[in-house]
Amino acid sequence: MMLIALVSMSGGELVAKVKEAGKNLRDYTARMESKTHDDKGRMEYKLYLQKYMRPGYVYMKVIRGANKGGVAVYHPDRKKVRVKKGFLKLWLSPDDNRLRSPKGHRIYESHIPWFISRLNNRAKFLHEATLFGRKVYVLEQPLSPTKNYGAVRARYWIDAEKFLPVMVIDYDEGGKIVRSVKFKNLKVNVGLTKEDFKI
């Protein structure tokens, strides 16, 4: 009976559950896999260790891809990014091109609460699926291309137990992928503190 109720759930009802889960999300850790396509058709692949803590601390360490071993931490109180590569440590603006994706995404536009913030009552429930061996619900959300680096829609794979997005793919008007992001080994509300964001 519960399964039938969830299958018939509207996009709005599912978004409401995701928004509620987002409100209860204090922090998380995950391995974030990112694939970004630039305007010339080239793809940048990176695998990060990501940590997030409210009100917006974001820790990103490159595990695989360009700048492997580099660490960037966004500090919402300072609106600055602390960067470490080898022995070098710097404070940079999040608008610095060295910190942005090939399409321009900033460090604070790559965490789960940011993706949740894009969901609204225009989202449509598509179907159920399996991802990372877990049941997920797939949503499609229209997007403003001016606010989303040319993406006009996104598909969200929502974990059926946590009600948090574990994969998001943005598409342009021609149906080409702008960016895909996967959150693997997601662990929520693990008790992170500011000490976990020092480098």
Domains defined along the chain, listed by start = 2-197 (2.50.20.10)
How much of the chain, in percent, has pLDDT values that exceed 70? 96
139: Cβ contacts below 8 Å, ≥ 6 apart: 11, 14, 15, 119, 123, 124, 125, 126, 155, 156, 158
161-189: b (≥16 Cβ within 10 Å) or e: ebbbbbbbbbbbeeeeebbbbbbeebebe
Q: How confident is the model at residue 6 (pLDDT cuts 50, 70, 90)?
A: very low
Q: In which band, very low, low, confident or very high, does the pLDDT at 10 lie, cut at 50, 70 and 90?
A: confident
pLDDT in tens, 78-122: 999 999 999 999 999 999 999 999 999 999 999 999 999 999 999
**pLDDT surpassing 80 at residue 188:** yes
User: Which residue, among 182, 193, 198, has the nearest Cα to 36 in the 3D structure?
Assistant: 182
Is the pLDDT score of 1 beyond 50? no
How far is CA 198 from its chain centroid? 21
Q: How far apart are the first and last CA of the chain?
A: 49
Structure-block tokens of residue 17: 């559950």
Cβ proximity of 42 and 102 under 8 Å: yes
Check residue 178 and give its pLDDT: 97
Residue 8 has what pLDDT?
54
Task: Tell me the pTM.
Answer: 0.93
41 band by pLDDT with thresholds 50, 70 and 90: confident
pLDDT of 2: 45
Q: Residue 154: pLDDT band by 50, 70, 90 thresholds?
A: very high
